[in-house]
Structure formats: structure tokens, C-alpha cells
Amino acid sequence: MQFDTLKDFSDLTGIGVRVVNRYDMPVFSVERSDAAWGIVDWLANLLSVEREMTEAVYRSFELSIKYDGIYVFLCPLGFAYVTSPVRLSGDRSLFAICGPMLLQEREEYIEFEISPKLGDACSVEELRERLDVIPVVSKKMMAPISEQLYINTVFLSGTMSIHNDSVEESVAEESAKHGTSRKGAFNTKDEVDAFLYRKDIQQRQEFNRFYEDLQVYGDGASKALIDELIVQLLFKPHTNIDYLKSKATDYVYGLHQIAMRDGMDAKMVTQVRNRALLELQELQSTEDVLSWAMVTSKRFGKYIFDYFDAKHASIIRRVIAYLQEHYSEKVTLEDVAEEVAFNQTYLSAIIKEETNQSFKRLLNRIRVERACELLSETNDSISSIAYGVGFTDQSYFTRVFKRFEGVSPYRYRENSKCAQ
């Protein structure tokens, strides 16, 4: 089998592609893929997550068959990938994997995601140099990238029919050897599949099953469900906004059903449902549906998932208070979410909604405000102030400072002296 079409896809997108067999042994790979996977292997070794990486890849084989030829996933390192079957034939099955990709700014990933985990094992400068081979892709491009990869694999396989029960069972058995079997365990992917892709009768049955699982697995399962749902809404290619909205409607009715079964106030829960459905009717894009899903889940959350019951303003005050106390440390969104007992995905959305800025920008603003005080009130060097307020690189601190204040730290200090 020739893979020129996948090479063309890689050249067009700038993203690495490799084809592997069901045992994750490469049979084809473009040069940029080799370089990028080399970094993945290096980081996985440093963080001792090689097993988790293997499990994620094997699981993607199984689920790419189940989900009609496309499965988007995030690995333990935070990189994104798309898996699509190329050939389904037992031991001779092949799968195309597009990635790794970064879905956030490289500097943000380094500062808030990977550097705190690595500690002194690797310098920021080395990370920047090594991660340069990992392409940065906007979230809204993930769906068209997924769809184009699928089109290319269909061209290679010569069929639009991906689902194959016998092959899926075979791949599932291989996945089980690596600790990734779904059977007999709660799996959020199955639940999201129920909400988004199954028929009405099946959907009600799956909601009943999820409700029972929720009693056993509790809040952790519900949070994982919401995270997985949001990932699918964001990354799964949907060619018809009406289709997506119809599935979102099913989701709202399912949440309403569970809340009512829990004995919650019927009038209040119905008001939340009706408000959500009225909002949904006005949405015009996938991005709008994603934002709506996060907000709607938060509203139902206080009835169903026992999330922290507080107004957004209260949450933001607690977030800012925590950042003002810990700004000099390597603080991450995960740290803050744990502190305020809130789901990380929701917290990020609420910060954006309430402050009109990202978590990274909010943290940097607090750091810069403290730096301004130190520049005006002390004779400390600019480098010591940069490190003292939580930046690990003086040049990056200078860029961020100028972005907020319009002048460099040196010029700000000089202007402060003149004003005094």
C-alpha cells in the first residue's frame, strides 16, 4: 500500500503522520512525525508516563473503529492526536495517527503545563528548542484536520465502511493487554457516545446506566463525563449545525431527567432546562454550542453533580486571592481548580467569561502588578524582580510586562522616579 496521500496531507498541514499496525509498530512515517514522536518519547521518559502513552494509543485504535473512522484524543503529556483506520484485517490492520499537536501557545504550555512537572530535569530554554518541532494548531482547526485525515484514509482503504465488529473485538482484546479495555468499568467515552450518537431508546437506557454508575463513582465520574463531552463537541467534525444542536438538545433532556429523578425542585430544574433550550435555538456555530454546553452543564451541575455551589463572582474572588498569594510559585490552572474545588475545564471557561481574559493572562496581570510595585518601591534588579514574581525567564517577563504596561520594566522604573 502506498501512502503518498498521507505524505501530501502532512505537507499541507505541517503535522506529522505515521501509519502503525495494531501493535503500534510503524510501517510508514514522514520525517516531521519521526522528529515529533522523538520529543514525545523523551518527555514520556522524563515524566515516567510511557505506560500511559501506550495505553492512550492502543485505546485510540479501538475507538477509531467504534466512532466511524475518527477518534481525537489527548495524551498524558497534553498533546492532541487524531487516529483513523487505514485497513481493517485482523493482525494486518493499520491505523493512521496524525500528531502530536499543541492546542495552546507554546510558551503557555511550557510555563503552565510541562515545566512545573519537569522541575529541574530540563531547562526552559531546552524545552523551547525541543518543542519547536511540535506544531501549534488552533482548536477550531481540529475538526477539519480530523475530517481531512479521514478522507485520506478512506481513499487508501477504498471504502466508506469503517465499522467492523470482528476487528473491533480483536483490537479490544489487544487493548486489554495494555490495560485499556473498557469492559466492566465506567468509561466516559461510552457515556458521551450515548449522549451524542445513539438512538433515542438506547439513549434513555444509557442515561439510566449512567445514573446508576454516578451513584457508585460519584463526582469524579461526572466531571470526567463533562470533560469528554466538551472534547467531542469541540473536535468531532460536524457538517450540520442542526445535527449538533439536536444532540445537544438530547443532552439537556437527559440532564433534566436525572435531576428530576434525584428529587430536585421540579420548577427550578425545568426553568434551567427551558432557558438552555431557548439559548440553544439562537446558536449559529460549533464554538457557540461548545460555550453553551459548558455553561449549561454548570447550571445543571449544582443539582446533579454536587459542584461547588457559588456564584461566578465568588469563584473569581477566590481564584484571584489564591493567585495573589501564590503568584511567585509555579502555579497551574490545575492547582487553582483543586484549591477552589471546581472542575478545571469549567474554571477556565468561567475565568474567561467573568474577566474576559484567559487564566494565563489573569495570572500574568497579577504578576505584572506586583512587579510594578517592586520597580517603583525598591532598587532590586529587574531580573530578581522577574524571578521574584514568578517568571522563569527575564526576556519573557519583559515582553509580558510591555504588553500590559506599554513600556519596558526599565522605562517604567525611570518614569516612576520622574513622577516622584
Three-state DSSP class for residue 187: coil
Q: How far apart are CA 76 and CA 257, in angstroms?
A: 34
Directed axis angle between helix 286-304 and helix 241-261, to 10°? Answer: 0
- What single letter denotes the amino acid at residue 176? A
SS (H, E, C) 49-89: CHHHHHHHHHHHHHHHHHCCCCEEEECCCCCEEEEEEEECC
Least confident of 24-33, 41-50, 196-205, 249-258: 196-205
Q: How far apart are CA 156 and CA 95, in angstroms?
A: 11
pLDDT of residue 160: 44
SS3 content of the chain, % helix, strand, coil (to 5): 70, 5, 25
Which domains, and CATH codes, for the chain? 4-177 (3.30.450), 193-304 (no CATH), 308-420 (1.10.10.60)
Q: Which of 88-97, 191-200, 225-234, 391-400 has the highest mean pLDDT?
A: 391-400
Q: How far apart are CA 357 and CA 335, in angstroms?
A: 18
Q: What's the whole-model pTM score?
A: 0.51
Q: Binning pLDDT at 50, 70 and 90, where does residue 214 land?
A: very low
Average pLDDT across the chain, whole number = 76
pLDDT of residue 76: 87
Say whether pLDDT at 167 is over 60.
no
Interval 205-223 mean pLDDT: 48
Q: How far apart are CA 219 and CA 225, in angstroms?
A: 10
Residues 6+ apart with CB under 8 A from 395: none
What single DSSP character describes residue 28? E
pLDDT of residue 144: 83
343: alpha, beta or left? (left if phi > 0; alpha if psi -120 to 50) = beta
- What single letter denotes the amino acid at residue 30? V
Residue 101: in which H helix or E strand, if any?
strand 94-101
Q: Binning pLDDT at 50, 70 and 90, where does residue 17 land?
A: very high
Three-state DSSP class for residue 19: strand
Say whether pLDDT at 342 is over 60.
yes
Alpha helices in 162-306 (DSSP H): 165-177, 188-197, 200-235, 241-261, 266-282, 286-304
Q: How far apart are CA 255 and CA 225, in angstroms?
A: 12
Residue 400: in which H helix or E strand, if any?
helix 394-405
Three-state DSSP class for residue 260: helix
Q: How far apart are CA 344 and CA 79, in angstroms?
A: 17
Q: Binning pLDDT at 50, 70 and 90, where does residue 57 land?
A: very high
Residues of the chain with pLDDT > 70, as a percent, come to 67
Q: What is the pLDDT of residues 352-373, one digit of tens each?
A: 877 778 899 999 999 998 999 8
In the numeric block, the cell 467504534 is attached to 66
Three-point CA angle 337, 341, 347, nearest 5°:
40
- What single letter denotes the amino acid at residue 233? L
